[in-house]
Amino acid sequence: EADIYQTPRYLVIGTGKKITLECSQTMGHDKMYWYQQDPGMELHLIHYSYGVNSTEKGDLSSESTVSRIRTEHFPLTLESARPSHTSQYLCASSDVGNTDTQYFGPGTRLTVL
Amino acid sequence: AQSVTQLGSHVSVSEGALVLLRCNYSSSVPPYLFWYVQYPNQGLQLLLKYTSAATLVKGINGFEAEFKKSETSFHLTKPSAHMSDAAEYFCAVSEASGTYKYIFGTGTRLKVLA
C-alpha cells in the first residue's frame, strides 16, 4: 500500500485567491508528479520532479508552480485562482527500482467560484 | 509519441458476467503498461502492470491482462464481475525512453448491473 497524502481533499475558493495544494509521500521516492484530471478525460501531467531542487513542466500547460525542497514534499501553488482552474489534482510518486510504477494520492478537488 | 486508446468510454456488464476492457497503444517497442482503477472521489489504484516478463499479468481483485505485441493491445479482463468492480479504469503506458512519464487513456467507466 502506497503512502502518499494530499491535503486538502476538497477546496472551494473565490477567484483571485492564492492556494497551495499539499502532497507528501513517506516512501522515499525520488520522482513525483502532479496531474490534472477533468471528468471523463484522461489525466494530464502538469509538473514533475526527479528529485530535490528538480522540477519540470509537464505536457499540459498550467499556470501553477511547484517546488521540491524536500524529497517527501511536492506542493503545488496557484498564485491567483480562476474558475478555469476548477479540476481534480492528483499527486503521484514513483521509484525507479520498481519499474517506475506510479502511486497516487487521493486527490484534491478544487472549485474556484 | 506514444498514445493510448481505450475503446468504449462506458461499459456495462451484468453481475457474474465477463469483464473486458480494451486498451491499445501505439509503439513498436514494448513499453511498460499499467491498468489503474479509480473509485469515486479517490485517487488511482494500481491493478496490474506489464514489465516485459510474462505476457499474461495477474493483478488484484481477480483482474488480469494479456500483452499482445502483434496487436499492440493490453486488454483487461475478469471472469466474473462483482458489484464492487463498478469504477473507472485507466490504461497507461510508460515511455520507454526513460523519461518515466505516463501516457494515460481517456478511461472506461464500468457499470455492473444486478
Query: How many angstroms away from the CA of A80 is the closest CA of chain B?
Result: 25
Query: Any chain A CB within 8 A of the CB of B40?
Result: no
Name which residue leads in pLDDT, B63 or A95. B63
Give CA–CA dist A86/A91, Å, rounded: 16
Report the pLDDT averaged over residues B77-100. 88
From residue A6, give the alpha-carbon distance in Å to each of A24, B57, B110: 7, 30, 26
* pLDDT given at position B58: 95
Q: Name the closest residue on chain B to residue A93, using Cα atoms.
A: B100
**Residue A60 confidence class, pLDDT cut points 50, 70, 90:** confident
The amino acid at A101: T
The per-residue pLDDT for range B59-71, each reduced to its tens digit, is: 999 999 999 988 9
Give CA–CA dist A72/A24, Å, rounded: 5
Strand partners, B51: none
Provide DSSP, chain B: ---EE-S-SEEEEETTS-EEE--EE--SS--EEEEEEE-TTS-EEEEEEE-SS-SEEE-GGG-EEEEEGGGTEEEEEESS--GGG-EEEEEEEE-TTTT--EEE---EEEEEE-
Residues of B in contact with A106 (CB under 8 A): 41-43
Give CA–CA dist A48/A70, Å, rounded: 14
**Residue B3 confidence class, pLDDT cut points 50, 70, 90:** confident
For residue B103, pLDDT beyond 90: no
CB spacing of B43 vs A43 below 8 angstroms: no
**Residue B10 confidence class, pLDDT cut points 50, 70, 90:** very high
The per-residue pLDDT for range A69-85, each reduced to its tens digit, is: 999 999 999 999 999 99
**Residue A53 confidence class, pLDDT cut points 50, 70, 90:** very high
**Residue B24 confidence class, pLDDT cut points 50, 70, 90:** very high
Averaged confidence pLDDT in chain B: 90
Query: How many angstroms away from the CA of B100 is the closest CA of chain A?
Result: 6
